[in-house]
Structure 1
Amino acid sequence: MKITKNVSPEDKKIINKIFWRSFTVFASRAGATKAHAPGFMYSIMPALDEYFKDDKEGHRKAMMRHTTWYNITQNVGTFVMGLVASMEKKTAQDPNFDPDSTVAIKTSLMGPLSGIGDSIFWGVLRVIAAGVGISLASQGSILGPILFLLIYNIPSIATRYYLTYMGFTVGDTFIQDMYKSGSMKLLNKAASTLGLLMIGCMTATMVKFESKLSIPIEGGKPIKIQTYLDQLWVGLVPLIVTLVCYWLLSKKVNVNWILLGVLVLSIALGLLGVV
């Protein structure tokens, strides 16, 4: 991998440790004021231990710097971990380097990186993985959950690893350059559009409603309500149900209540013989 070429063997060991520790970043939460700061500090501790091994006071100050708020989509958060490790190395080696800039840059990248991470991994990749998994699982195939985990986790883990090195070697200028060139805005727009397309496709293929109601005709075949619903708009009821769920989510209704409501409605309609 090109991104590792200019990294010393000692730094590679540190970066690899940061990568593996990054999986625990959301294992703890230090309240509303610090969020996942403990997990971040644990993840970058190999770098602090190595670069400040002969400077106990410097090590203490470095730890204090990273007790501040931290919350980035974990799939892309390793970029900041690698970047912070690089900047802490600079702090340990250069007495003229301003250590406060490390915290400032870390904080400034939280919003942009979370926007990218949420759009790509939560809005697109997870939807695609769920679509494939649900489709196969609904047919009784064991490949459903397996492919869901593989489709989501393989790109996610590979991105984590690559971004850890990228943050260490490239630095914050990469994100700044993307903003200046307009690439960041284009990336977010493309990811959002693809995510909406996938949600639309999943709604059309996986939200089902087929009414059993019919109007009896003496001496003839009964008129099925579903036939007229399909003539009016194929998939009209599933679309309405989806839009109602979306509206409830926009009103901050807990997703568990929405799921419970859909479940109760489905059971009630089934018992009444509507569907």
Structure 2
Amino acid sequence: MAEQKMNQAVEEISVTKSDLRTIFWRSFCHEASYNAERQQALGFAFTLTKLLKKLYKDDKEAYVEACKRHTEFFNLTVQITNFVVGIVTALEEKNARSQDKNMGPTISAVKSALMGPLAPIGDTFFWGCFRIVAASVGATLALKGNLLGPVLFVLMFNIPHLLVRWYGLTLGYKLGENFISFMQEGGLLQKLTEAAYIVGLTVIGAMTASYVGVTCGVEFSIGESVINIQEILDGIFPRLLPLGVTLFMAWLMRSRNVKPAIVILVTVVVGLVLGAAGFLIV
């Protein structure tokens, strides 16, 4: 009888597949309460609240402490946040099973430590790679009037997102606090990041040449000959003006901290003025 009660108690503080599925669905609200002070903290806490109630149902004080530590500052690319959620889930389970439940500082430290190395991966793959590739394919089809354009955009971006969200959660839970050391073995973390950067930059370069339409409309005559400035520029460097305009805008936003809205507004105004004067064809 005593052994049966012990087994039952262990099951009550164990994470099941049902618990992981619940965490997965609740994680879609991760940015629902995004704020300037703690950013994604409330969403992170909401993702784990139901599990924490189960793990610490016999210890109200430990439950309150767990909720408090998950309302601390947290910010990470939302598509890969479940990696961290899975690791934290394993740590909370281990903490709930311990006698003194003193792993709180360790759990907070692991969360803070994981934000730095994981953020470049998430930003690179999802914002610098998948989003751009999906937008490129979708925009190309949409410009041709193909209704599959927006559909493919949504699918190409969200299929990897959903797979990473689920398998990231389960992998993080299995690996626990050893996740980062696993990824760093053999330089896997660095190789994946560099590969994603290369793909993303290649796609950005192709989109610059294809979708930034800036052409010099200046022509002048010398005797019977007509000199076209755009033809000269193309002979030196094809698509030089689109590249120059793109790099100049990137410089304004990154080095001079000019807001994108201002860059867009100035671009529209300058384009209209120079286009009306015949200097540029945009």
TM score, norm. by length of structure 1: 0.89
Q: Which runs of 5+ in 2 are unaligned?
A: 1-12
2:85 maps to 1:85:
no
The CA RMSD over aligned residues, in Å, is 2.1
Instruction: Provide, for residues 112-160 of structure 1, a one-character-per-residue CA deviation record: whole Å limited to 9, x for no partner.
Output: 1111101111111111112112222222332222221111111111110
| Map of 1:258 onto structure 2 | 263
| Map of 2:40 onto structure 1 | 36
1:10/1:186 CA distance change after superposition, 3 Å: closer
Percent of residue pairs bearing the same amino acid type? 38
Distance in 1 separating the partners of 2:152 and 2:275: 31
Distance in 2 separating the partners of 1:60 and 1:81: 18
Instruction: Provide, for residues 9-31 of structure 1, a one-character-per-residue CA deviation record: whole Å limited to 9, x for no partner.
Output: 96111111111111111121343
2:120 maps to 1:129:
no
2:118 maps to 1:94:
no
Query: Aligned to 1:22, which of 21, 27, 30?
Result: 27
Distance in 1 separating the partners of 2:136 and 2:76: 25
Kept in 1, the 8 Å contact 2:138–2:152? The answer is yes
Number of residue pairs the alignment of both structures matches = 266
Structure 1 residue 221, shift from structure 2 partner: 7.2
2:112 maps to 1:112:
no
2:154 maps to 1:149:
yes
| Map of 1:204 onto structure 2 | 209
| Map of 1:182 onto structure 2 | 187
Structure 1 residue 216, shift from structure 2 partner: 4.8
Distance in 2 separating the partners of 1:180 and 1:96: 33
TM score, norm. by length of structure 2: 0.87
Secondary structure of the residue that 1:75 maps to in structure 2?
helix
Secondary structure of the residue that 2:215 maps to in structure 1?
coil
Distance in 1 separating the partners of 2:174 and 2:266: 50
| Map of 2:10 onto structure 1 | none
* Amino acid paired to 1:233: F
* Amino acid paired to 2:229: I
| Map of 2:274 onto structure 1 | 269
| Map of 2:242 onto structure 1 | 238
* Amino acid paired to 1:79: F
Structure 1 residue 234, shift from structure 2 partner: 1.1
Distance in 2 separating the partners of 1:148 and 1:179: 32
Structure 1 residue 227, shift from structure 2 partner: 1.9
